Structure formats: C-alpha cells, structure tokens
Amino acid sequence: TSQGVQPKRFKTLQELVLFAPAANGLSTISHEYLKGSYALDLEAVKQGASSLPHLNKTLVSSCKRLNGEVDKVLSGLEILSKVFDQQSSFMVSRMIQQ
C-alpha cells in the first residue's frame, strides 16, 4: 500500500469470517456457522450428502431469534399505539367540551 502496511490476506472464507467478523447480524450467523459447523457440512458433502444440515440448523435458529426480536418490537409498538390513542382521545374529548 502507499503507507507501507500490507493488508491482511485471508486464504479461505472461513479465515476471513473467523478473524475479521463484521459487526452485524449476518456476520454473527456466518461466524457461528463457519466456526462450528462448516467443516462438518463440508465433510458430509464430500461423502455424498445432498444437503447442509448444520447450515440449515443455524439458519432456523437465527430465524427463530429474529422472529422473537420482531415479536418484541411489535409488542412495544402496540403499547405505544394504545398510549397515543388514549392521549389523543382524551385531548379530543377535552377540545369538544371547551
């Protein structure tokens, strides 16, 4: 490089994910899978498997966690909606009475 610092070169995708994970949800999934189960699925494919059961398990688990987070957000939004509906209803009734 122009500053004399050589960038780190990764030989495999697994090295990249293990040693330089990004700070987002997808990298967490990738890191989790590549760190623990990638080799198992790779070996299974080499032996003739037609699916990636560990990747499937990782994705199902991640989807369940995401679904749980979505449920929490929706619950919070419902509560906020009720609070604002009550406040606006109260304000409208006060305006009508005046």
Say whether pTM exceeds 0.75: no
For the stretch 65-85, pLDDT in tens is 889 999 999 999 999 888 888
Amino acid at 69: E
- Report the greatest alpha carbon distance in the chain: 80
pLDDT digits (tens, 9 = 90+) for 7-63: 667 677 666 656 655 555 556 777 778 888 988 999 999 999 999 999 999 889 888
What angle do the packed helices 53-97 and 38-46 form, to 10 degrees? 130
Name the amino acid, one letter, at 53: P
The label of the residue with tokens 């199902």 reads: 60
Indicate the domain borders of the chain.
Answer: 13-97
- Of residues 91, 84, 25, the one with CA closest to residue 58: 25
pLDDT for residue 43: 93
